[in-house]
């Protein structure tokens, strides 16, 4: 009871964020959806881009405290993750994938509940527009604005990019995938709740069987765990193989991604069999990706 009371006190009065010095902040450009990160160069899975495509950057800024609560210049507040923090990462990631699949733009995210979208033309000193919306409405607000700017908007999303019905849970999954990706890039052990991330993504994929991106996110999380040297991914081998072992239709993009799952768990016989089935008639981009799977999980491989 004593420990229970102490935990109750901590929950009622969470510790105040402490000023932290010496933080290094840098931009992390992402030009592919976060749910492909860790699966290799899967450009064959995405709409093709050319130099003539409009170049659009999505930059995130999050205000987590009131101005009068800020500490001195050169300091930053470090605290526990909250919903505002998760959304500050997830919404820019979501808008980037929307631009990639719903327009002819070539988007890139930086590392953002009223959501305010401020649209700038590079080189101008005034914004083109300010679009305020809820997280659920930010996609349609952005697409409506871009359509008015004569940027091609695909009103019907591709069969691959079918956002799960549980939108808030999907946004949380994007934020978790980003945290897992950063931990891999930095080869950091400072990642809490890795099992919870995998379980969250698994539940999202199972609860919306018609959403390929949820399944890809689950596979990407497992791949990132292995590539950062964790063994947690092995705990979900059974679930992953059940999900990807017999994907239909056999000519769909989700079926074409299955070799990486077999390779992830070193099931080499199944990997070679599936790769040999998919190789005939494939385009050059896909064949290069299949060949790269031989070394994708080698410690020195980073893509």
Q: What is the pLDDT of residues 141-200, one digit of tens each?
A: 888 888 888 888 877 778 888 888 888 889 889 988 988 888 887 766 667 788 999 999
Q: What is the mean pLDDT of the chain?
A: 81
The pLDDT of residue 181 = 86
Q: What is the pLDDT of residues 30-81, one digit of tens each?
A: 778 888 988 999 989 888 877 788 787 777 665 554 544 545 555 555 555 6
Q: What angle do CA 291, 293, 297 make, to 5 degrees?
A: 145
Task: Mark out the alpha helices in the chain (DSSP H runs).
Answer: 2-12, 83-102, 138-148, 167-185, 194-207, 212-227, 237-244, 253-256, 258-264, 268-278, 284-292
Q: 260 near 215, Cβ under 8 Å?
A: no
The pLDDT of residue 300 = 61
At which residue do the structure tokens 């990019």 appear? 161
What confidence category does residue 112 fall into, taking pLDDT thresholds of 50, 70 and 90? very low
Q: DSSP label at 200?
A: H
Between 283 and 21, the more confident residue is 283
The pLDDT of residue 104 = 74
Q: Token digits for 128?
A: 């083109």
User: Nearest to residue 198, comparing CAs of 227, 178, 173?
Assistant: 173
CB atoms within 10 A of CB 287: 14
């Amino acid at each position: 009871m004593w420990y229970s009371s102490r935990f109750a006190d901590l929950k009622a009065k969470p510790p105040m964020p402490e000023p932290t010095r010496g933080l290094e902040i840098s931009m992390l450009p992402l030009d592919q959806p976060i749910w492909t990160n860790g699966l290799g160069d899967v450009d064959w899975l995405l709409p093709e881009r050319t130099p003539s495509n409009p170049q659009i950057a999505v930059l995130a800024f999050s205000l987590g405290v009131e101005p009068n609560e800020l500490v001195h210049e050169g300091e930053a507040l470090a605290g526990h993750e909250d919903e505002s923090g998760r959304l500050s990462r997830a919404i820019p990631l979501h808008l980037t994938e929307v631009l990639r699949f719903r327009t002819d733009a070539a988007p890139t995210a930086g590392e953002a509940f009223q959501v305010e979208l401020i649209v700038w033309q590079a080189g101008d000193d005034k914004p083109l527009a300010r679009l305020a919306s809820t997280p659920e409405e930010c996609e349609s607000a952005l697409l409506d604005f871009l359509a008015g700017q004569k940027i091609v908007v695909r009103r019907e999303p591709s069969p691959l990019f079918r956002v799960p019905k549980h939108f808030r849970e999907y946004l949380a999954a994007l934020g978790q995938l980003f945290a897992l990706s950063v931990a891999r890039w930095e080869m950091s052990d400072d990642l809490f709740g890795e099992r919870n991330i995998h379980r969250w993504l698994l539940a999202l994929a199972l609860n919306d069987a018609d959403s390929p991106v949820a399944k890809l996110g689950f596979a990407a999380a497992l791949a990132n765990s292995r590539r950062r040297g964790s063994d947690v991914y092995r705990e979900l081998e059974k679930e992953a193989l059940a999900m990807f072992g017999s994907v239909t239709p056999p000519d769909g993009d989700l079926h074409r991604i299955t070799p990486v799952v077999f390779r992830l768990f070193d099931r080499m016989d199944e990997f070679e069999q599936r790769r040999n089935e998919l190789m005939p008639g494939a385009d050059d981009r896909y064949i290069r990706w299949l060949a790269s799977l031989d070394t994708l999980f080698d410690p020195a491989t980073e893509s």
